[in-house]
Amino acid sequence: MQEFSNLSTQLKNSLSKALTIFYPLGGRRNDIFSIDCNDDGAIYIESSINMEMEEFLKPPKLELLNKLLPCEPNKTHPYNKILPQILVQVNIFKCGGIAIGLCNLHTILDAYSCSLFLKTWSSICKGSIDEIFKPNFSIASSTFPPRNTFGVRAGVLNINKGLEIEVKCTTRRFLFDNKAINELKEMSQSQNNGINKKPTCYKVVCSFICKHMILACMKELLVSESKREVVVLHVVDMRRRMGETLLQNSIGNLLWPAMMVCENVNKDTNIIDMVRILEDEIGKVNEELFLKVKNDPCFMWSEECGELMLERMENKNPISFVFTSWGNMGFKEMDFGWGKPLWLGQRGGTKETIPNTVVLMETYEGIEAWMTMAEKHLDVLENDKEFIKFALLNPNVNFNLV
């Protein structure tokens, strides 16, 4: 335990130093728009786990995963409740293995911003001073200043109006290994001037998952509801599409929703068609769009923006799906001084309340899809022969790949 005591001291000291660099994270959220930078710091907890890490990960105990976190994730709070920005729980297993659980508010941290904070913390912890990241807290707000919302149409960003929230949802983990991804790419490639064009891993995996999620949700609908509209939202990181390197060190929720309507999806729908729709819609989220957002104070309230946000769908009570990716952000490359992580988890348990969401995580073996749905719909997926041909349900974590 003396060894862990030393590691604990190292983690706490380096966290304190990281918070001085990411100074707003040491403050408190007073409302949904502002942070009081009062230097109260982060919440730090240590926990002993009465289990070997190998036992926990073969296969991952998703029903226990939230026990490794300092609070229940995805929990809503009153808008005026004072809340910490960062909560950390350091878990030590019987074998001496360590798992770091982190929860953060979305006030100024999106997944990319969180990865930059973790890179800074881990670099300080292992003594790699030259790798410490210097964040910029002003460039995002100066590039996209707050807009006056007076007189804004009621339909703006209101696509989920009337969305039925499931009380009993759960999260399950599926692995698309590299072999499955390559096969999906082969099925999805198109020709452009005689040249074969393979879509990205994200696009093929999302398109494949989306098709089967839609089928799972549609299976129980009555004939009168079978033509219900389907809207799919992909969360896009604006930094990668602005064409400006200055945003690469910016902290903030620099996200944009790429939205698409999926019509007449059935078991015979080809994945290449789903990929084509996704490519078209994500292609609209580009530098030209963000220059309009940046330079025209009225663009967010324009008819053109309303069309991008699919406002016309708000009264049709569509079935909604949300996809986001934590890939290519360096999470699996972080080293606190004792090597890269064996595995990255997302969240588990059965207390989820928002259905039809998918988070993609990069792994050494391929891509993991953490899917939250009503249990009855996940049960349909697990019995979908085409789906489970490519998606492995919660396989063991391979300790030999790191």
Residue numbers of the domain that contains 61? 2-137
Residue 398 lies in a domain: no
Q: Total structural domains in the chain? A: 2
Whether residues 122 and 187 fall in one domain = no
Domain edge (last residue) among 92, 116, 137? 137
Residue 154 lies in a domain: no
Domain edge (last residue) among 137, 157, 187? 137
Q: How far is CA 132 from the centre of its chain?
A: 24
384-393: average pLDDT: 96
Angle (CA) 68 120 340, round 5°: 55
Residue 399 lies in a domain: no
Residue 266 lies in a domain: yes
Lookup result for tokens 């807009």: 147
Residue 309 lies in a domain: yes
More confident residue, 205 or 228: 205
Whether residues 106 and 192 fall in one domain = no
CATH number at residue 243: 3.30.559.10
Whether residues 354 and 235 fall in one domain = yes
For 173-188, how does the pLDDT look when each residue is reduced to its tens digit (9 = 90+)? 999 999 999 999 998 8
**Would you say residue 266 has pLDDT above 70?**
yes
193-206: average pLDDT: 80
Whether residues 266 and 311 fall in one domain = yes
For 373-384, how does the pLDDT look when each residue is reduced to its tens digit (9 = 90+)? 999 999 999 999
Q: Give the model's confidence band at 162: pLDDT under 50 very low, under 70 low, under 90 confident, else very high.
A: very low
Q: Give the model's confidence band at 110: pLDDT under 50 very low, under 70 low, under 90 confident, else very high.
A: very high
146-165: average pLDDT: 54
Q: How far is CA 288 from the centre of its chain?
A: 25
Collapsing DSSP states into helix, strand and coil, what is residue 336?
Answer: coil
Whether residues 276 and 367 fall in one domain = yes
Domain edge (last residue) among 117, 137, 157? 137
Cβ 261 vs Cβ 308: under 8 Å: no
Residue 299 lies in a domain: yes
Collapsing DSSP states into helix, strand and coil, what is residue 389?
Answer: helix
For 118-146, how does the pLDDT look when each residue is reduced to its tens digit (9 = 90+)? 999 999 999 998 888 889 998 888 888 87
Whether residues 12 and 125 fall in one domain = yes
Residue 151 lies in a domain: no
Whether residues 193 and 59 fall in one domain = no
